[in-house]
Amino acid sequence: MKKLIGPFTQILPLTELSLKGALKDEQLHIIPQGGVLVEDGLIAAVGDFEQLRSANPSAQIEEITGDHVVLPGFVDCHTHICFAGSRAKDYALRTAGKTYLEIAKAGGGIWDSVTQTRAADEATLTELLLKRIQRHLAEGVTTIEIKSGYGLSIDAELKQLKAIKAAADKTHTTLIPTCLAAHMLPKDFNGMHQEYLNHILQNLLPVIKQQRLANRVDIFVEESAFNTSDALNYLAKAKQMGFEVTVHADQFTTGGSETAIKARAVSADHLEASTDYEINMLAKSDTVAVTLSGASLGLGMVYAPARKLLDAGACLAIASDWNPGSAPMGDLLMQAAVMAASEKLCAAEVFAGLTFRAASALKLNDRGILTKGKLADMQAYPCDDYREILYQQGKLKPDKVWTTADLLRL
C-alpha cells in the first residue's frame, strides 16, 4: 500500500551533506512543493508532489494544508530519562553557588537519583519514561537512546533496562537502551572501583546480553567517577563480550575522549573541557563527538567547542542529555538552537547533528535522511522557510510527526 504525503512548502532530505566536518546552508538541497511517497512504512520516493501524484495514481493521499517545512525525525543519541524523582533541590543549591561536583561529594547529585530510582518499581519507571518519550515524540524526536545508571546494583540496573524494554513495546518511537552501570561508584563499593567494574562485567553484562536488554555500554570517565585506565580495561572487556561502547568524556576534566578513541568507542559525549589536543584527535577518529548543550545550560557551564570540532573535521552530533540532574529541560531543539547562536553553527550543521550524524553515533544507518529505503520518521514545522526553525530558538515545534511504526499500522 502506497501513501503520498504532501504537498510541503519545503522538504530538506539532508541526503547531500557529509558525515563529518563543517557544512554550509548553501549545500542544503531544498525541494519546493514536495511530497514523500511511503510504501510499507519506508520511504519509496521524495520529490515534487504533483509529479509523484501523477506517477502514482493509486497512492492514498495524506493531504497537508498550510505551509510546512519537513525534516527527518530527530535522533536524541544521549539521554538518561529512565529515572524517578526530582533534583530541584540540587538545582537550587547550584544557583545559590554550589558546584555540581560539590553537591555530588556531599552525597547529593547522581546518588540522590539512584536512591529515588531504586525505590520505584519497574511499572512506575515505565510509566514515567513513557510520559517523557511522548513529549519528545511530539517535539519531533523519533529515536531516543536511553541509559540506565540510576540503579548501580545488578537488580536495579536490570529493572531500569526492563522498564526501557517495556516502554519500547508501547511507543512508536525507537528506543536504544544503553547500560551505564559505570555511572559512579555505588556507596557499598567504597573506594573499590576495579572491584565494582569487575562485578558488573561478571554479573550484569552477561545477563543483559542473554536477555537482550541492551547492546551498548557507557562509562563516566571523570575524577568523581572512573579513571582512564579502569575505563579502558572495562570498555575492552565489554567489547569482547560484543557490546558497542561509548564514554561520558571531558565533561569537567580531560582524559575521557582519548580513552573513547583508544577503546574505538562509537561516541565520546559531553566534551565541554576538550582542548585542541582532544579536538584534533576526535576529528581524525571514527568516534562521533556528541555535544550536550542541555548539560551546559543546566549547569551554567561553557558549551563544548562545537565550532572547532566541525572545523577540525569531526562528526558532530547534538543530544539532549535529558536527566534529572545536569540537564532537566529535555528540549532538544531549543538546546541545539541556543548553542548554535553562541557556537556559530549553521542550520545544515545543526540539522545534521540532530539527525543522521546522531544516528551514526548509534550505528543506525536506516534513518536520519529522507530518501528511498530509509525509515519514514519525519516531522513538519508550520512555517514556509527552514530558517524559521532555528530563528525561533526552539519555540517553533513540529505540528506533525510521522514514524515508520505509525505508517505501518495505517
Nearer to Fe ion among residue 141 and residue 401 (C-beta)? 141
- Select the residue whose beta carbon is closest to ligand NIG and give its number: 325
Distance in Å, CB of 177 to Fe ion, minimum? 14
Among ligand NIG, Fe ion, none, what binds residue 193 when CB lies within 5 to 8 Å by partner kind? none
Nearest-approach distance from CB 225 to Fe ion, in angstroms: 11
DSSP letter at 373 equals T
Taking CB under 5 A as the rule, does residue 76 contact Fe ion? no
C-alpha cell at 237: 572487556
Number of H helices, E strands in the chain: 18, 15
Angle at CA 334, nearest 5°, toward 351 and 32?
Answer: 40
Query: Where is 9: in which H helix or E strand?
Result: strand 2-11
Task: Tell me whether residue 106 or residue 241 sits nearer to ligand NIG (CB atom).
Answer: 106
Asked whether 247 and 257 are in contact (CB, 8 A), the reply is yes
The answer for residues whose C-beta is within 8 angstroms of residue 332's C-beta and 6 or more apart is 74, 76, 136, 139, 141, 294, 318, 319, 320, 322, 354
Task: State the nearest-atom distance from the C-beta of 350 to ligand NIG, in Å.
Answer: 20
250 sits near Fe ion (criterion: CB under 5 A): no
Q: Which stretch binds Fe ion (CB under 5 A): 10-18, 84-92, 200-208, 318-326?
A: 318-326
Q: Distances in Å between the alpha carbon of 39 and those of 13, 93, 99? A: 17, 53, 52
Q: Choose the one of Fe ion, ligand NIG, none that binds residue 34, judging by a C-beta under 5 to 8 angstroms depending on kind.
A: none
| d(C-alpha 108, C-alpha 120), whole Å | 18
What lies within 8 Å, CB to CB, of 272 at 6+ separation is 250, 251, 252, 295, 296, 301, 302, 303, 304
Choose among ligand NIG, Fe ion, none what residue 109 binds, the Cβ cut-off being 5 to 8 Å by kind: ligand NIG
Identity of the residue, 113 or 178, whose beta carbon is nearer to ligand NIG in the bound complex: 113
Shortest approach of ligand NIG to residue 272 CB, angstroms? 10
Between the alpha carbon of residue 262 and those of residues 142, 273, 277, 287, the distances in Å are 31, 18, 14, 10
Which one, 323 or 404, has the nearer CB to Fe ion?
Answer: 323
113 binds, among ligand NIG, Fe ion, none (CB under 5 to 8 A by kind): ligand NIG
User: Which stretches does DSSP call E strand in 55-194?
Assistant: 60-63, 69-72, 74-76, 141-147, 174-182
Q: Are 5 and 332 in contact (CB under 8 A)?
A: no
Quote the least distance from Cβ 325 to Fe ion, whole Å. 9
Closest approach, Cβ 110 to ligand NIG, in A, equals 4
Question: CB 278 → ligand NIG: shortest distance, Å?
Answer: 17
C-alpha dihedral, 40 to 44 to 47 to 53, nearest 10°? -60
Q: Which of ligand NIG, Fe ion, none lies near 9, with the C-beta cut-off 5 to 8 A by kind?
A: none
| Shortest Å distance, C-beta 323 to Fe ion | 6
| Closest distance to ligand NIG from the beta carbon of 359 (Å) | 20
For ligand NIG, the closer CB: 35 or 324: 324
C-alpha pair distances (Å), 243 with each of 144, 233, 315? 18, 14, 21
C-beta of 83 vs 402, nearer to ligand NIG? 83
Q: How far is the CB of 248 from Fe ion (least distance, A)?
A: 5
Q: Which residues bind ligand NIG (CB under 6 A)?
A: 80, 109-110, 113, 220, 248, 251, 295, 321, 323-327
Q: Give the separation between CA 80 and CA 152, rounded to whole angstroms.
A: 14
Cell of 207: 545477563
Q: Which stretch binds Fe ion (CB under 5 A): 48-56, 260-268, 314-322, 390-398?
A: 314-322
259 binds, among Fe ion, ligand NIG, none (CB under 5 to 8 A by kind): none
Q: Would you say 270 and 295 are in contact if contact means Cβ atoms under 8 Å apart?
A: yes
Closer Cβ to ligand NIG, 139 or 321, answer by number: 321
Residue 148 contact among Fe ion, ligand NIG, none, beta carbon within 5 to 8 Å by kind: none
Q: If you compute the radius of gyration of the chain from its CA atoms, what whole number of angstroms results? A: 21
- Among 2-10, 152-160, 203-211, 320-328, the segment contacting Fe ion (CB under 5 A): 320-328
C-alpha cell at 327: 540537564
Residue 321 touching Fe ion (CB under 5 A): yes
When CB distances are held under 5 to 8 angstroms depending on the partner's kind, the choice from ligand NIG, Fe ion, none that residue 251 binds is ligand NIG
Chain CA centroid to CA 388, Å: 23
- One-letter amino acid of 90: D
Q: With CB cut-offs between 5 and 8 Å by kind, which of Fe ion, ligand NIG, none does residue 325 bind?
A: ligand NIG
Residues in contact with Fe ion by CB under 5 A are 321
